[in-house]
Amino acid sequence: MQKSVAVLGSGSLGSIVAEGIVKDLAGSWRLLGVVARTFSHAQDLAQRTGCVAFADVEAMLHEKPDMVVEAAGVAAAREHAEKILASGSSLILLSCGALADESFVVHLKNAAQRGGSVLHIPSGAIGGYDLLRTLAFRQKQLRARGEEAPLMVRVDNFKNPHSLAGAPGLAGFSPATLEENREEVFAGSAREAIRGFPKNVNVAVGAAVASAGIDETRVTITSDPELVENVHKVTAEGFGVRAVMEFGSMPDPENPRSSTMTAWSVLALLQELASPVRYF
């Protein structure tokens, strides 16, 4: 039986998701509609995909979608995620940089419990969430027994300076110098990373929340003018396990801060949720 899904955001990622639902997942999911900050943009996407353009999130929730996909940025996630979950609609959250705020995460959990909904965090531009969650479970298990449970997680990000343009964390760095030289522009915790690079490190925050924690996960960002793809290297070590995972993906032509793989991960997740066989 088809379930209904709505998309919050009509940019490059939201468009790929909406079009993919219609073209590739129609047997399991029905695209109910789209909503965006600019109504005319939602109308354009709705016309291309044959669905409804909602005037606002409240109008969307009035139609009670089974699932909402957020692809509108951290600010929109913070504004709308709680009420979406509390309404009874489950939520796929792409802007997981919002999860760097633990109090916000608590609000989301409580809202999901009240609404009987589920918050889904897709893998986005990386993989390995299954391993990270397994190690996080083992850490929690050992701590509950009063045992030491050290878990090291590190996310190294390598990006072309054009992908980092406008980030507050680049203050003090010369754009001309970055255009010519490979340079590490940030090193610190995942919490500090999202403050300085709010549109660039959703990957790092997602990995941190899924594993060692937002303050315990170390993040670096390196600007490299010779790179044509975004590269993320995730290293995790603990409990006799060591994993080094490197992922490279081309930035979206319309939004160099994001990868089209992020949108594909949403479509893959929707397919997984509708399947009688699921891979953790």
| Residues catalogued as catalytic | 232
Q: Which candidate, 244, 167, 161, places its Cα nearest to that of 200?
A: 167
What is the DSSP annotation of 206-231?
HHHHHTT-TTTSEEEEEE-TT-SSEE
**Which phi and psi angles does 59 have, rounded to 5°?**
-65, -40
CA distance 168 to 163: 13
Give me the half-sphere count of Cα atoms (radius 13 Å) on the Cβ side of residue 120: 23
CA distance 21 to 69: 11
Residue 92 amino acid letter: I
C-alpha distances in Å from residue 231, one per residue of 200, 211, 256: 12, 20, 13
Q: Which residue has the tokens 């680049």?
A: 170
Q: Which candidate, 6, 208, 3, 11, places its Cα nearest to that of 105?
A: 208
CA distance 113 to 106: 11
Phi-psi region of 67 (alpha: psi -120 to 50; beta: other; left: phi over 0): beta
- Strand-pairing partners, residue 7, are 34, 69
